[in-house]
Amino acid sequence: MNAIELLESQHREVESLFSKIEKARTSASKTKLFEQIADKLAVHAAIDEHHFYPAVKEKRTEDILLESLEEHLAIKRVLADLLDLDAGDETFDAKLKVLKEEVEHHVGEEESDLFPKVRAVIDEDQLEAIGQEMSDEQVELEEQGDPRNAVPAETGQAASI
């Protein structure tokens, strides 16, 4: 799977999880779904920042990538806040809504602006190679367990590329 296809599939997974958590009725089910969302977003941000963004950085994409890194930071900060809350907390749903809106905005920009520009400057073989590196790190992070636990330490400043 090439890098863009991998990222788009992750976007769809997170969208599905947000749909499920909005329908959840108990704190326990919300907690379980939120942990899945947090893990997916932590992995997604890591492979974006470690592999995809550095590989596609050039003049045509640099401004978008810098903005994307700032969006990742905003998402990580809301995630970190949510990780400190119980799903039954009165502010949990409000913060979750902010997280969803941040993610939707970020996904929209990646898919409508960044990905078309990347496709124009990176060939399919390169996208496949980047996708393989990203998949390898994804497996590694998931095998380590609870990737979300790394997020609070990543809220000081945006990652660099």
pLDDT tens for 31-52 read 999 999 999 999 999 999 999 9
Domain chopping of the chain, boundaries? 3-150
The helix/strand/coil state of 20 is helix
Q: What is the pLDDT at residue 59?
A: 67
- List the one residue out of 91, 95, 94 whose CA is nearest residue 80: 95
Residue 99 has pLDDT above 70, yes or no: yes
Q: Are 87 and 34 in contact (CB under 8 A)?
A: yes
Residue 137 has pLDDT above 90, yes or no: yes
Residue 146 has pLDDT above 70, yes or no: yes
Residue 10 has pLDDT above 70, yes or no: yes
Mean pLDDT of the chain: 95
What tens digit of pLDDT does each residue of 43-86 get? 999 999 999 999 998 767 888 899 999 999 999 999 999 999 99
What one-letter code names the amino acid at 136?
D
Task: Name the band, by pLDDT with cuts 50, 70 and 90, for residue 102.
Answer: very high
Torsions phi, psi for 84 (to 5 deg): -85, -5
Give domain 3-150's CATH number out of 3.40.50.300, 1.20.120.520, 3.30.70.100, 3.40.50.150: 1.20.120.520
Dihedral sign computed on CA atoms, order 94, 97, 101, 106 = positive
**In the numeric block, which tokens belong to residue 37?**
């969302």
